[in-house]
Structure 1
């Protein structure tokens, strides 16, 4: 049986609950041949991965998931096979991290106005090595007894339109594509059927994305076939993965199930080599 690849996985360095080494062990157990850690706006997992990867017979390709905005719509862009030490990337990720902390402080301030007391230190402890995100604030609300679940926290306070919502740092698709190009990476549109209209999809293709995520838990077989046709028509790389976080009921059963052929890695590497900057 030919080994396959999961190119969409999150760890404790963003909003996942597993360490990079735990992910590697899971990948071996699932008989995967390759993985990419695609943490949100972070490549910190690779500092750990490179120290331990020689213990596992798993190929690792660098990855990240950028949170972008286009026409006031949040869109996620995956990047692969890039230089994690690129100076402009490092600067951008530091900017994002600081912006997340500012955002957290603003959410805390809004919560205080409705008599909900949280502080940045306790949220930072929950986040651990990861940048602070809304799920970490939701966990703090649970710990303090203000809500009983993440869903309740978002429905009452943290989602768009709710009293304590605070928008993310505005990073456009154009900026993301320019940054990925500067890092010699490959840009892939994440789970397009989940958030993106057909019109937006074709606009993004015209903007220069290199691939689309065809295989994803949010996309059924019919959608997969449709996206594969689009990828073939526009010479895009068809990628995929489990979008594993570890915190959702279905995560463990999805790991090893949502994969792509090993040949997709070679397509990514070949596109890097053929690109003219």
Structure 2
């Protein structure tokens, strides 16, 4: 039987709704042999998963999903096998969390100027162990009766161009790649979507990019084949996963379905040795 791995999952330590214990229990149920915890801009979810992974006999891959930008466009980098105790990586992740808190506070102040009195401490409580983000603000707005649902909160106040919007602080792609590589990990471009131009990919490779997430729920078979051809052409790593959060209708059916052979993990480890 082919052993499968999901190399893209999220927990309550970013924007997922399951604890590490709940996620690994679910992974056991769907027959996964390995998981990478790739919470946004933190490795706390990975660290909190070590014990339960050992207990359930599921291989745990150290992971993260870094929020990055290039030419005013957002990109995400998946990191695998980087050392969570690397001083420079830790320093930059702490900076990221601090900048996100400052951004959230600016959003809350803008909301107050529009007579939406949201308490910043309530937002921090809603975020819990995760880096604070706009969905946490939206959730407090709903709790306090300022908005009927998250979509309305974003459409009226929080989205780009709306009254309380604040640009987010992200890592430049080159810095993100460097942080992951220097911490002993690989940098993989997450869910690049339909036909990322080759010149952009070539630029990322020059900056040290190691791979592409080929298998992802947003990638059609045609898109997967496109990225497979680029992986082969540039001799890159190929990864894949469900991008599981637990909060979306399709998460339950995608978990265990969008997976890659465990040999993909071995390929990353082999790459890091050379």
- Would you say same fold, with TM above 0.5? yes
2:140 aligned residue = 140
What does 1:95-134 align with in structure 2 at a 5 Å threshold?
95-134=95-134
Measured in 1, the distance between the counterparts of 2:228 and 2:148 equals: 40
Which deviations, in whole Å up to 9, do the C-alpha atoms of 1:105-150 show, x marking residues without a partner?
Answer: 0000111111111011111121111111111111111112222222
What does 1:141-156 align with in structure 2 at a 5 Å threshold?
141-156=141-156
1:231 aligned residue = 231
Q: Secondary structure at the match of 2:33?
A: strand
Contact 1:75 1:196 in 2 (8 A): no
TM-score after normalising by structure 1: 0.95
Shift of 1:155: 1.5
Shift of 1:170: 3.7
Matched, 1:200 2:200: yes
Which deviations, in whole Å up to 9, do the C-alpha atoms of 1:244-266 show, x marking residues without a partner?
Answer: 11111111111111111111001
Q: Secondary structure at the match of 2:142?
A: helix
Shift of 1:197: 4.4
Q: Secondary structure at the match of 1:82?
A: coil
Measured in 1, the distance between the counterparts of 2:152 and 2:219 equals: 25
Which deviations, in whole Å up to 9, do the C-alpha atoms of 1:222-254 show, x marking residues without a partner?
Answer: 101111111011111110100011111111111
1:256 aligned residue = 256
Contact 1:214 1:238 in 2 (8 A): yes
Measured in 1, the distance between the counterparts of 2:196 and 2:133 equals: 23
Measured in 2, the distance between the counterparts of 1:59 and 1:29 equals: 15
Measured in 1, the distance between the counterparts of 2:232 and 2:195 equals: 21
Contact 2:9 2:36 in 1 (8 A): yes
Distance 1:69 1:272, change over 3 A: same
2:19 aligned residue = 19
Q: Unpaired segments of 5 or more residues in structure 1?
A: none
Q: Secondary structure at the match of 1:32?
A: coil
What does 1:56-95 align with in structure 2 at a 5 Å threshold?
56-95=56-95
Q: Secondary structure at the match of 1:208?
A: coil
Contact 1:192 1:201 in 2 (8 A): no
What does 1:40-51 align with in structure 2 at a 5 Å threshold?
40-51=40-51
How many matched pairs? 274
Q: Unpaired segments of 5 or more residues in structure 2?
A: none
Measured in 1, the distance between the counterparts of 2:113 and 2:68 equals: 29
Shift of 1:194: 5.8
2:267 aligned residue = 267
Contact 1:105 1:120 in 2 (8 A): yes
Measured in 2, the distance between the counterparts of 1:232 and 1:198 equals: 13
